[in-house]
Amino acid sequence: MNIDSYSERHHIEEMMQENQIVQGNSIDLIKSVQCNSVHLILSDIPYGIGAEDWDVLHNNTNTAFLGSSPAQKSAGAIFKKRGKPINGWSEADRAIPREYQEWCAKWASEWYRVLKPGANVFIFAGRRLAHRCVCAMEDAGFNLKDNLAWLRTRAPHRAQRLSVVYQRRGDTASAKEWEGWRVGNLRPVFEPILWFTKPYKIGTTLADNALQHGVGAYNEKAFLRYVDEPENIIRAGLSTAEGKFHPTQKSVRLMQALIELTTRQDQLVLDPFAGSGSTLVAAKNLDRRYLGFEAVPEFVEICRKRLLLNLLTD
């Protein structure tokens, strides 16, 4: 082995050390994680709906995408940027769901490889394209165990009143006729959490797998510290101390509930799309080992500060 290749391998090994966040493309970084070494993957993946530049996962052909109109600017943060409507702006936009599934397929097989048999995956996926993520994960070999419902305590309502549109056009008759109607969605208080498992050895049981690999069952007693009943609905919001570290931030308490549900102390939690680090902070709070990947330098720095200062200890 020459010096260059040795140095490169040593650098990769250093990057993959546990209890840290690594900056870079997770699709590349995860290839250096050992097979069958991870006890849980918990990640708030990009939804592919154009929330920010990093969330554009399709071949965008419209220069207005992610721009902002004068009306949006006056509306404030709720309408910060212009997304792409469900109907699209061209026939090419109809390919967005398929392109999102293809993007998920780029990393799903690597997630399968690094997980221990019987281990769990929790994915926060947008309501619009979650089914495409499910298809990619199933094609990679995962079983879809359940769909959890995360109920947020607050959610902005982005539906424009149709009567106002007509009023701006000077069409008072139509404005009166369509009073009470809106353009957009209902208030998005629900988000799905996709729960997958990696198959364990055929001919054995989950009880056998728990003894061999330490995963497969769920800890109802621990979960009840976060919920009233052991059901697949979780109600949680951001605490006042958490602030706004990320545009799609999830609460540490929510992540802790999922980590305690499926792992034990000192087991390894991986977040390939770590963002500002809520998963890693939660894992640290619960004495789990953790490893995260994040491409955006700004979020990496925020995550490192949160881990260093341990600001959130619910």
Q: Is residue 26 part of a domain?
A: no
Helix 297-309 vs helix 278-285: crossing angle, to nearest 10: 20
8 Å CB contact between 262 and 215: yes
Q: Is residue 173 part of a domain?
A: no
Q: Is residue 169 part of a domain?
A: no
Q: What is the dihedral of CA 238, 241, 246, 251, to 10 degrees?
A: -30
Instruction: List helix spans (H) across 265-309.
Output: 278-285, 297-309
Give the chain's length.
314
The whole-number pLDDT of residue 244 equals 77
H or E stretch including 112?
A: helix 96-114
Q: For residue 85, give the CATH number of its domain.
A: 3.40.50.150
pLDDT digit string (tens) for the chain, length 314 residues: 344 554 444 445 555 689 999 999 999 999 999 999 999 999 999 987 766 666 666 666 666 556 555 544 554 554 455 566 677 777 777 888 999 999 999 999 999 999 999 999 999 988 999 999 999 999 999 999 999 999 987 777 778 899 999 999 999 999 999 999 999 888 888 999 999 999 999 999 999 999 999 999 999 999 999 999 999 999 987 777 776 777 777 889 999 999 999 999 999 999 999 998 999 999 999 999 999 999 999 999 999 999 988 644 44
Q: Helix %, strand %, coil % for the chain, to 5?
A: 40, 20, 40
DSSP 230-274: SSSEEE----TTT--SSTT---HHHHHHHHHHH--TT-EEEETT-
DSSP 202: B
Q: Is the dihedral of CA 237, 241, 244, 246 positive or negative?
A: negative
Q: Is residue 21 part of a domain?
A: no
- How many structural domains comprise the chain? 1
The whole-number pLDDT of residue 32 equals 96
8 Å CB contact between 159 and 180: no
8 Å CB contact between 194 and 134: yes
Q: Is residue 91 part of a domain?
A: yes
What is the domain range of residue 214? 35-152+189-263
127 HSE (CA, 13 A, CB side)? 11
H or E stretch including 114?
A: helix 96-114
Q: Is residue 168 part of a domain?
A: no
Q: Is residue 294 part of a domain?
A: no
Residue 146, helix vs strand vs coil = strand
Q: Is residue 303 part of a domain?
A: no
Q: Give the residue from 150, 288, 284, 279 showing the smallest Cα distance to 227.
A: 150
